[in-house]
Amino acid sequence: MKKILLIITLVISALFTEANAQKQIVFEGVTIPRTMKFENKTLQLNGAGSRSKMWVEVYIQALYLSHLSQNPKEIINDNLEMSIRIEITSALVSSGKLTRALNTGFEKSAGTNFITFKPKMELLKSYLSEEITKGDVFELTYNPTDSSVWVIKNGTLKGKVPGFDFKKVFFGIWLGDNPVDEELKNSLLGI
C-alpha cells in the first residue's frame, strides 16, 4: 500500500511540475511567465533577452504580444495589446539610470521627431521616478482601447502615456531599425 501511495505521489508531482514548466520559463535565473493577462486579454511570450552594461546584466526583458511575430515593423505598427516586461537583476540600476537609458533609446527611435515626443517622454520618466531595487518588475503595456502605454510597477499602475504614435516610437527603442541592443532585439523576436 505504501508503494502505491508513493507512486501516486510521484506521478502527481511529475504532472504538477510539468504543468508549471509549461506556464513559465527560467531565463538566466529569472522566472518569466509564458503568458500575461492584461484587461481580460491573454498576451503570449514572444521572446526574452538580457540587457548588460559593462559586463553586468542589469535586467531581463520579455516581449508579450497578442499574436506571435518575428516581424519588428509589424509589431511596432500593430494597434494591438502588447507589453514589454522588465525585471531588474542588478542593484546597480537606479531610477535615474533607467530613465536616462530609456531617454537615449527613445531619442534614437524617434530620430528627428524627438522634440515632438519629449513631453510624453518626460511623463513616462515621472512614472519611473520612484526608487528601483533588484527584483522590481515593470510592465510597459500598450492598450489600444485608450491608445496609451500603461506603466505598471510590481503590479501597481503608475500612470499612462497617451498616443499610438508614442507607442510606436516607444517599442522602437528595442525593435526599431536602430535598436539599443541588436542582440536583445533578436531575442525579443525569438530569432
Domains of the chain with CATH codes: 24-188 (3.50.70.10)
Burial 13-37 (b: 16+ CB within 10 A, else e): eeeeeeeeeeeeeebeebebeeebe
- Residue bearing the bigger pLDDT, 150 or 4: 150
pLDDT, mean of residues 154-164: 97
| Whether residue 185 has pLDDT greater than 70 | yes
**Predicted confidence (pLDDT) per residue in 23-39, tens digit:** 767 767 778 899 999 99
The overall average pLDDT reported for the chain is: 84
**What's residue 171's pLDDT?**
96
Give pLDDT, residue 2.
Answer: 39
Q: pLDDT at position 57, please?
A: 61
Segment 97-114 shows an average pLDDT of 88
Please tell me the predicted confidence (pLDDT) of residue 31. Answer: 82
| Higher-confidence position of 8 and 58 | 58
Contact 41, 82 (CB under 8 A): no
Cell numbers linked to 133: 531595487
Give the pLDDT score at 90.
78
Q: Look at residue 58 in the predicted model and tell me its pLDDT.
A: 74
Percentage of residues in the chain having pLDDT higher than 90: 60
Rounded to two decimals, the pTM is 0.83
Among the ranges given (8-12, 48-52, 161-165), the one the predictor scored with the smallest mean pLDDT: 8-12
pLDDT at 7 over 50: no
